[in-house]
Chains A and B, each alone.
Chain A
Amino acid sequence: MINKFTRMAMAATIGGMLSTAALASDLVITFDDLNPDKKAAYDAAVEAFKAANPDINVTANNGDREAHKDTIRNALQNDAPDVITWYPGNRMAPFVDPGLFMDISDLWASDPNLSANFNAIKPTMSRNGKQWGVPYSYYQWGVYYRKDIYDKLSLSEPKTWDELLGNCDALKEAGVTPFTIGTKYLWTAAGVFDYLNLRTNGYDVHNDLTAGKIKYTDPRIRATFAKWEEMLDRCSFVKTHATMSWQEAISPFANGDAAMYVMGNFSVGQYKDAGLTDEQIDFFQFPEITPGLARAEEAPADAFFIPAKAKNVENAKKFLAFVATPEVQAEWNKTIGQLPPNSAAAINTDDKFIVEGMETLSTAAGLAQFYDRDAPAAMAKAGMEGFQKFMLDPSTLDEVLESLDKVQAEVY
Chain B
Amino acid sequence: MFPKPVENRSVLVRLLYKLSLPVALFVWLLPLLAIFMTSIRPASDIATGNVFGIPSTFQMLQNYAEVFAKTDALKYLTNTMLIALPTMVVSVALACLTGYALAIYKFKWALPLFFLFVAGNFVPFQILMLPVVDMSNRLEIFNTVPGLVMFHAAFQTGFCTLFMRNFMKALPFELIESARLEGVDEFKIFWHLVLPLVKPAIAALCVLIFTFIWNDFFWATVLLSDDKSLPITVGVRTLNGEFVQQWHLVSAASLLAAVPPVLMFFIMQKHFIAGLTLGATKG
Contact = CB atoms under 8 A, between A and B. Distances in A.
Interface of A: 5-6, 9-10, 12-13, 33-39, 61-65, 67-68, 71, 74, 245-248, 250-251, 254-255, 264, 266-267, 269-270, 273-275
A228 to B, nearest CB: 23
Contacts of B244: 247, 266, 269-270
Given A35-B238, A36-B239, A10 B49 contact: no
B139 interface: yes
B49 A248 contact: yes
Interface string B212-246: 00000000010001111010001101111111110
Contact of A251 (B48, B141, B230, B237): B48
A273 B238 contact: no
Interface residues of B, number: 34
A255 B71 contact: no
Interface string B123-138: 0000000000000010
Interface in B128-154: 137, 139-141, 144, 146-147, 150
B44 interface: yes
Contacts of A246: 243
A10 B140 contact: yes
Contacts of B71: 36
A6 B136 CA distance: 10
A6 B47 contact: no
B225 A264 contact: no
Contacts of A63: 225-227
B140 A71 contact: no
Given A35-B240, A62-B227, 19 more contacts: A9-B140, A9-B146, A10-B140, A12-B144, A13-B140, A33-B241, A35-B239, A36-B238, A39-B227, A39-B238, A61-B227, A64-B227, A64-B234, A245-B245, A255-B48, A267-B243, A270-B47, A273-B43, A274-B48
B70 interface: yes
A254 B48 contact: yes
A170 to B, nearest CB: 26
Contacts of A74: 137
Nearest to A38: B241
Residue of B43, B238, B245 with highest tally of chain A CB at under 10 A: B238
A65 B225 CA distance: 10
B238 A64 contact: yes
Contacts of A36: 70-71, 238-239
Contacts of B227: 34, 39, 61-64
B242 A65 contact: yes
B226 A62 contact: yes
A255 B137 CA distance: 52
Contacts of B239: 35-36
Contacts, number: 86
Nearest to A276: B47
Given A62-B226, A63-B227, A251-B49, A9 B242 contact: no
Nearest to A250: B47
A5 B150 contact: yes
B266 to A, nearest CB: 32
10 smallest A-B Cβ distances: which pairs? A274-B47, A34-B238, A36-B70, A35-B241, A63-B225, A62-B227, A251-B49, A273-B43, A273-B47, A9-B141
Nearest to B140: A13
Contacts of A61: 226-228
Residue of A33, A36, A245 with highest tally of chain B CB at under 10 A: A36
B167 to A, nearest CB: 23
Given A6-B139, A36-B70, A36-B71, A254 B47 contact: yes
A240 B58 CA distance: 30
Contacts of B242: 33, 35, 65, 266
A264 B243 contact: yes
A34 B234 CA distance: 11
A274 B137 CA distance: 46
A9 B47 contact: no
Contacts of A264: 243
Nearest to B67: A36
Contacts of A245: 245
Nearest to A13: B140
Contact of B146 (A12, A38, A247): A12
B240 to A, nearest CB: 8
Contacts of B238: 34-36, 39, 64
A255 B49 CA distance: 10
Nearest to A274: B47
A76 B49 CA distance: 43
B136 to A, nearest CB: 9
Nearest to B43: A273
Contacts of B140: 9-10, 13
Contacts of B70: 36
Contacts of A250: 47
15 contacts: A5-B139, A6-B139, A9-B146, A34-B235, A35-B242, A37-B241, A71-B225, A247-B244, A247-B245, A255-B48, A266-B243, A270-B47, A273-B42, A273-B43, A274-B44
B69 to A, nearest CB: 8
Nearest to B135: A2
A194 B88 CA distance: 53
A248 B48 CA distance: 8
